[in-house]
Amino acid sequence: MAPENGLSKVKNIIAVGSGKGGVGKSTVATNLGFALNKLGHKVGLMDADIYGPSQPGLLGTHTRPTGHDGLIVPINKSGIKYISMGIMTASDAPVIMRAPMAVKAITQFLTGVMWEDLDYLIIDLPPGTGDIQLSIGQQTNLAGVIIVTTPQKLAAQIAKKGLQMFETLNAPILGVVENMSGFTCGHCSEVTAPFKKGGGKLLAEEMKVPFLGELPLDPNIMMSSDEGVNIQEDAPDSISAEIFLKLAKNVVNNLEEAQIKSRKIEAEKIEHDGTMIRIHWKDGTQSDVDAYTLRTQCPCAMCVDENSGKRIIRPQDVPLTIKAEDIRPVGRYGLMVRFSDGHDKGIYRLSSLKEMTNQSSEKTFNL
């Protein structure tokens, strides 16, 4: 018997990304997990930064995981279940692997870990917009994405790219967090902004997504991170503990609204008879498109020049009788189609499919 998919009992998967490194994304992910746990939720934390894992240090444990029934048993720290490449090896040696192997590791962390019943699985993403982010977007039905930035203009510009990537993947955007936003002097209570202020809020306004709040430069956060302790337990009355609790409440409150927005281009059901494909959308509408149109509009690198964007495949090279033999969803943003000519490389974005119209009125849809 095949082992159970580790995500089968996870209710909500939330990714925390940043676009660039050094903005405190991992610290935000960890403390968000602790805050959600304090609010009474069952929480897991997955360290998806294969090359630079931070969670073992932030959580203060390097205990090696064990296995059970073909699945990895995650480590439990302060009520948080977590897994990281940083605890998979006994040494402090760097992880040296090519992207395909890193993606395989991510797949194992997602489906091969015994997450069990979780209200929230928080994924601490690596910097950038590469293979790992794309793989997670394809393999999971993300409940939401949080983008972390520092106030500087450059950081916000790079964070914007990360946000746009997840919008392309039709992942619900829960909002933007501005980290390192001001420092309050412990002696005179004067607030200074060494990295400026407002970059995160401006980004949220520009992209029309919620602004989840500002996180201060606070010695309590630094010390708890360095020592691997839970700030909700170690300094529950601190300003930072209260701010992270507020952030957690904002995340929970924004989940439904963000998902309603993404459902406008999310498929409820897909039917096909080989010749025609019908997509029933979650907003109650439906779209029909024929296999010939889909094949001629394939977006893969074999059909479209990646540099010029010019279409390589010619409509006259596609037989009018071509069939769609198999269709499968890719994450919540696209479809892959295997055609009768053997082609199966293209990922069709749902937003593009919704814009397509049936270009052959003679063809009938008979399911």
- At residue 333, the pLDDT reads 86
Query: 252 by DSSP, 3-state: which?
Result: helix
* 97 and 72 together in one domain: yes
- In this structure, the answer to whether residues 19 and 53 fall within a common structural domain is yes
Are 49 and 16 in a shared domain?
Answer: yes
What CATH number did the domain enclosing 123 receive? 3.40.50.300
Residues 64 and 175 placed together within one structural domain of the fold: yes
pLDDT over 70, % of the chain: 93
The whole-angstrom separation of Cα 150 and Cα 202 is: 12
More confidently predicted of 366 and 17: 17
pTM of the model: 0.84
Query: What is the C-alpha separation between 88 and 66, in angstroms, rounded?
Result: 10
State the residue range of the domain holding 343: 267-355
Cα–Cα distance measured from residue 168 to residue 137, given in angstroms and rounded to the nearest whole number: 10
pLDDT by residue (tens digit) across 333-350?
A: 889 999 999 999 999 988
pLDDT at 219 over 90: no
- Domain for residue 291, yes or no? yes
- Residue 91 has a pLDDT of 65
**Inside any domain, residue 110:** yes
Q: What is the DSSP string of 199-231?
A: HHHHHHHHHT--EEEE--B-HHHHHHHHHT--H
- pLDDT value, residue 90: 66
Total number of domains in the chain: 2
Position 1 in a domain: no
Distances (CA, A) of 269 to 279, 325, 349: 6, 17, 15
pLDDT at 156 over 50: yes
The reply to whether 46 and 192 lie within a common domain is yes
**Same domain membership, residue 240 and residue 133:** yes
Q: Tell me if 365 is assigned to some domain.
A: no
Q: Could you tell me how many residues make up the chain?
A: 367
> Is pLDDT of 1 > 90?
no
Do 185 and 107 sit in the same domain of this protein?
yes
The yes-or-no verdict on residue 176 having pLDDT over 70 is: yes
The torsion region of residue 178 among left (phi > 0), alpha (psi -120 to 50) and beta comes to beta
Same structural domain for residues 173 and 317?
no
| Dist CA 345 CA 168 (whole Å) | 18
Picking from 212, 232, 264, the residue at the C-terminal end of a domain is 264
CA nearest neighbour of 172 among 48, 47, 246, 256: 256
Contact yes or no for 341/295 (Cβ under 8 A)? yes
Residue ending a domain, among 264, 297, 321, is 264
Position 186 confidence tier, pLDDT thresholds 50, 70, 90: low
CATH number assigned to the domain comprising residue 348: 3.30.2020.30
Domain co-membership, 23 together with 165: yes
Pair (332, 217) in one structural domain: no
What is the tens place of the pLDDT at every residue in 281-314? 888 888 899 999 999 999 999 999 988 989 999 9
Clarify whether residues 285 and 255 are in a common domain.
no
Q: What DSSP character marks residue 261?
A: H
1-10, 91-100, 221-230: least confident range? 1-10
The rounded mean pLDDT for the chain is 89
Domain boundary among 249, 264, 279: 264
